[in-house]
């Protein structure tokens, strides 16, 4: 049964409660896949990636430093590997290499390569403290980019890990000659070029071009006034989708440096955005517990799914969501979502007070 369910799913999400969630957009259904009976904050999912190009296995990075493998064919967890320690901080990124090696990056800056048969990393380098994100190049898979708080963009070649192949220079001082702080929150490699785009905690989007001698951004765009937390590149190129801590999502033009439009529907901080690899759609998730899917053509909200837990990360399958509607007509059994976490229960049990009641009570007092 679990295998049937997991094969239907076109979106995968990792939650703060440690549950892997699969969503079938065509069936409008959500499923929970959980490794243990007892959920704890140690299992909070911080990173997700595909283990291979066929997308039959997911890699799930948890707060406790373990990476679990989940088979989407079987609908079951098949392996757990220890890839770091709680003391390293949470995973800032997770990636798979072609020879089934694994790349992890922790907040402390430890960027490590793990081979399947070895319990120690086969390579380790220091990406600097307070790393917020590590991302892999989709084309040159041995290339990764890192960045974080007061830790500018660096690009690494894992086959030559001695030093970064590109290190961004500090931004130019502002018009008052004050130093402008660095805070890279997310990063992506722009296809068919050497350029890399980042978004920052100071609501800027920067493009860097390592093929030029220029080590500062070749383009800078600002969006809104809140920290940007996530970005993703649509398949069509020349735009980037960014999200911030107030649930605002925008489509920015990478050539002209202007805002093309906004996507509405999110309420909490955006934790991750993913554009579909070939379709004009973007999925987003975050602290409001909803998965939102928008069309990039007309910017309309296509799906909004409530998933009960705060969501940290998501992945889309590259096949089209519609293809996954199963031929049989009968409905699968009703899915019981996980029990809400302890803090959620407290909120649920609190009585709701309307403004009208508050005014009435005040009048009585007066």
Q: What is the pLDDT of residue 262?
A: 95
Q: Please give the structure tokens belonging to residue 272.
A: 């991750």
- What are 238-295's pLDDT values in tens digits? 999 999 999 999 999 999 999 999 999 888 999 999 999 999 999 999 999 999 999 9
Q: What is the pLDDT of residue 334?
A: 36
At residue 315, does pLDDT exceed 90?
yes
Region 190-196 average pLDDT? 93
Segments making up each domain of the chain, as ranges: 43-126
Domain with residues 43-126, CATH architecture: Beta Barrel (2.40)
Q: How far apart, in whole angstroms, are the C-alpha atoms of residue 27 and residue 21?
A: 15
Among 34-38, 96-100, 110-114, the least confident range = 34-38
Chain-centre distance for alpha carbon 15: 11
Reported pTM: 0.86
Q: How far apart, in whole angstroms, are the C-alpha atoms of residue 43 and residue 30?
A: 20
pLDDT-derived band of residue 328, with 50, 70 and 90 as boundaries? Answer: very low
Q: How far apart, in whole angstroms, are the C-alpha atoms of residue 67 and residue 59?
A: 6
At residue 133, does pLDDT exceed 70?
yes
pLDDT-derived band of residue 352, with 50, 70 and 90 as boundaries? Answer: low
Q: How far apart, in whole angstroms, are the C-alpha atoms of residue 103 and residue 82?
A: 12
Among 97-106, 133-142, 229-238, 352-361, the least confident range = 352-361
Q: How far apart, in whole angstroms, are the C-alpha atoms of residue 54 and residue 32?
A: 22
Phi-psi region of 177 (alpha: psi -120 to 50; beta: other; left: phi over 0): left
pLDDT-derived band of residue 176, with 50, 70 and 90 as boundaries? Answer: confident
The residue among 298, 306, 304, 249 whose CA lies nearest residue 272 is 249
Q: What is the pLDDT of residue 156?
A: 97
Buried b (16+ CB within 10 A) or exposed e, 52-81: eeeeebbbbbbbbbbbbbbbbeebebeeeb
Among 116-130, 131-145, 344-358, the least confident range = 344-358
Q: What is the pLDDT of residue 7?
A: 93
Q: What is the pLDDT of residue 39?
A: 75
Region 332-356 average pLDDT? 48
For 86-104, give the DSSP string: GGG-SEEEEEE-TTS-EEE
At residue 358, does pLDDT exceed 70?
no
């Amino acid at each position: 049964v679990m295998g049937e369910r997991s094969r239907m799913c076109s979106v995968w999400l990792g939650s703060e409660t440690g549950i892997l969630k699969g969503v079938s957009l065509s069936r409008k259904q959500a499923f929970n896949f959980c490794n243990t009976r007892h959920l704890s904050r140690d299992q909070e999912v911080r990173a997700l990636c595909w283990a291979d190009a066929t997308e039959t296995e997911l890699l799930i990075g948890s707060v406790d430093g373990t990476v679990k493998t989940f088979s989407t064919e079987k609908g079951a967890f098949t392996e757990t590997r220890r890839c770091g320690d709680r003391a390293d901080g949470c995973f800032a990124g997770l990636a798979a290499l072609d020879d089934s090696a694994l790349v992890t990056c922790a907040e402390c800056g430890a960027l490590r390569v793990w081979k399947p048969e070895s319990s120690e990393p086969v390579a380790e380098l220091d990406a600097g403290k307070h790393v917020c994100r590590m991302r892999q190049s989709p084309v040159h898979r041995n290339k990764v980019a890192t960045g974080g708080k007061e830790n500018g963009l660096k690009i690494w070649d894992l086959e030559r890990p001695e030093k970064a192949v590109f290190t961004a220079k500090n931004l130019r001082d502002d018009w008052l000659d004050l130093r402008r702080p660095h805070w890279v929150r997310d990063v992506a490699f722009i296809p068919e070029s050497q350029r890399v785009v980042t978004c920052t905690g100071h609501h800027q989007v920067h493009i860097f071009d390592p093929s030029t001698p220029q080590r500062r951004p070749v383009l800078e765009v600002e969006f809104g006034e809140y920290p940007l937390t996530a970005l993703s590149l649509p398949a069509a190129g020349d735009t980037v989708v960014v999200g911030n801590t107030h649930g605002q999502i925008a489509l920015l033009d990478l050539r002209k440096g202007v805002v093309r439009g906004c996507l509405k529907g999110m309420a909490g901080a955006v934790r991750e955005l993913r554009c579909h690899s070939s379709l004009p759609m973007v999925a987003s998730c975050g602290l409001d517990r909803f998965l939102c899917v928008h069309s990039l053509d007309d910017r309309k909200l296509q799906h909004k799914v409530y998933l009960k837990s705060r969501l940290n990360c998501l992945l889309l399958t590259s096949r089209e969501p519609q293809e996954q509607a199963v031929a049989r007509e009968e409905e699968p059994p009703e899915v019981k979502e996980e029990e809400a976490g302890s803090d959620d229960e407290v909120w649920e049990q609190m009585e709701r007070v309307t403004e009208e009641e508050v005014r009435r009570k005040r009048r009585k007092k007066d």
